[in-house]
Chain A
Amino acid sequence: MNAQYSCLVVEDSPMMRQLLVVALSRLKNLHVTEADDGVDGLRKLATGKFDIILTDINMPIMDGLKLVKRVRSDPTHKNVPIVVITTEGSNEDRQRALQLGANAYITKPIQAPQVIAKVRELLRIEA
């Protein structure tokens, strides 16, 4: 069965990435593409079409804030909902991400139901 929605997960930690992928695998009709960092994320965005992006903030090479800024200035993807994943206490990063155009944030340690609910909400998928 073909996926109805496409999601890009940008996260440098393999463990966090796997956690997100496992959580999102519970959403039917959602295909997940993984990227190691912001640059890899942009590469994947250049070659594909995505309905939602989940990105970590602290990443090597290109962080999540820069990625949000680049996505919002790209005419092709400027309207794609973005969820940033932040750590506790990084309130400034969270605010900055929202100012740059992120739609929502999730705080680590992540909980699968929270991730699923946020993606459902932004993609308007009924439970």
Chain B
Amino acid sequence: MTEKKAPGTSGSDRPREEVTGELKEKRDAFLHTFFRRGAELTEELVGENRRLREQLGELEKDNAALKTHLASDAAIRDLLKKIEELEREKARLLSTVHAQAEITNRFAEIESELESFANLYVASFQIHSSLRVRTAVRHIRELLVQLVGARRLAIYFVDEGDKHLSPIAADGVDVATVPVIDLREAAAPASAEAIVERTYLTGVPHLADTDPIASPAACIPLQLENRTVGVIVVYSLLEHKKRFVAVDRELFKLLGAHAGGTIVSAYLWGQAGGRSPSAAALRELCA
């Protein structure tokens, strides 16, 4: 009879104990390997876990840094926006300041013009306010002193018969010491008399524009009916008056055009005994 083989046995006829021992060894080896691999796996997992935790920590740090960066970017954006706004405000303020400066300048110009007009108004009013020679001449002197700031001056009138320019009034200087100018003889060149003579002969005003202002400071021809009948001479100006200004030139024009006529009118009015001409006589002259 054939002996039935136990399952799992080799076909050899080895003893059962031997086979069992071999199997046990295999099982132990397997278990050993299994647990060793398990331990290794666990160790790997632990290591991986640590590494991932470290990575996570780094990512969290990076994240925090990025958040900070983003926050600072936002702050910079806010600041840039603020700077833009401030720049716009600055431009607006500068434009306002410029506009204000322009207004201030214009205001000063208008002030100056107003003062000029006021002076010219008063001068033209006063120059014709009297038909007495003494008063008319006093007003002319006052205009020169008070409005122009003349310190020393003389008013010359021509004596057409004798061909002389004679002083008729003066201020700040004794009229008796003001020289008579002989028109038949040329005065010494560059002398005050030569300038007065030239002003009379040419009818062109002389205004010194040197600093300090030379003497005579001004010579103004007195015109009457396209003729020169005299000359106003301003020898010097008040200490604080350093140079002529625009309104002075306008006042000189006014005096040049009207002072001669005022003095002659006042003289003729006095000669006529202060009588007005009759309407009939005037009508005849107007025809």
Determine if B240 is an interface residue (Cβ-Cβ < 8 Å).
yes
Kindly list chain B residues whose C-beta atoms are within 8 Å of the C-beta of A22: 118, 121-122
Question: Which residues of A are in contact with B by a Cβ distance under 8 Å?
Answer: 13-16, 18-19, 22-23, 26, 88-89, 107-113
Within 8 A of A (CB), among B99-133: 111, 114-115, 118-119, 121-123, 125-126, 129
Residue of B nearest to A116 (CB): B111
The total of Cβ contacts below 8 Å across the A-B interface reads 47
Kindly list chain A residues whose C-beta atoms are within 8 Å of the C-beta of B115: 111-113
Kindly list chain B residues whose C-beta atoms are within 8 Å of the C-beta of A26: 114
Rounded to whole Å, the gap between the CB of B115 and the closest CB of chain A is 5
Q: In the complex, which of the residues B126, B129, B146 contacts A109, with contact meaning CB atoms closer than 8 Å?
A: B146
Contact present for A109 and B122 (CB under 8 Å): no
Kindly list chain B residues whose C-beta atoms are within 8 Å of the C-beta of A110: 146
Residue of A nearest to B115 (CB): A112
CA of A15 to CA of B145, assembled, Å: 11
CA of A16 to CA of B126, assembled, Å: 10
CA of A107 to CA of B239, assembled, Å: 12
Contact present for A113 and B148 (CB under 8 Å): no
CA of A16 to CA of B139, assembled, Å: 10
Contact present for A113 and B146 (CB under 8 Å): no
| Residue of A107, A109, A111 contacting most chain B CB atoms (<10 Å) | A109
Residue of B nearest to A23 (CB): B118
Determine if B238 is an interface residue (Cβ-Cβ < 8 Å).
yes
Rounded to whole Å, the gap between the CB of B237 and the closest CB of chain A is 10
How many chain-B residues does the 8 Å CB contact rule pick out? Answer: 23
CA of A109 to CA of B151, assembled, Å: 11
CA of A57 to CA of B2, assembled, Å: 169
Contact present for A88 and B129 (CB under 8 Å): no
Determine if B143 is an interface residue (Cβ-Cβ < 8 Å).
yes
Contact present for A112 and B146 (CB under 8 Å): no
Contact present for A19 and B114 (CB under 8 Å): no
Contact present for A108 and B114 (CB under 8 Å): no
Determine if B142 is an interface residue (Cβ-Cβ < 8 Å).
yes
User: Can you name 14 A-B residue pairings with CB atoms under 8 Å?
Assistant: A14-B129, A15-B122, A15-B123, A16-B142, A16-B146, A19-B147, A22-B118, A26-B114, A88-B238, A88-B240, A107-B240, A109-B149, A111-B115, A112-B115
| Residue of A15, A18, A111 contacting most chain B CB atoms (<10 Å) | A15
Contact present for A109 and B118 (CB under 8 Å): no
Contact present for A19 and B118 (CB under 8 Å): yes
Residue of B nearest to A19 (CB): B122
Residue of B nearest to A16 (CB): B146
Kindly list chain A residues whose C-beta atoms are within 8 Å of the C-beta of B146: 13, 15-16, 19, 108-110
Rounded to whole Å, the gap between the CB of A43 and the closest CB of chain B is 24
Known: A14-B129, A88-B238, A88-B240. A112 touches B118 (CB 8 A): yes
Beyond A14-B129, A22-B118, A107-B240, list 11 extra A-B contacts (CB 8 Å).
A13-B142, A15-B122, A15-B146, A18-B122, A18-B125, A19-B147, A22-B121, A88-B239, A88-B240, A109-B146, A112-B115
Contact present for B119 and A15 (CB under 8 Å): no
Q: Which 3 pairs from chain A and chain B are nearest by CB?
A: A15-B126, A22-B118, A112-B115
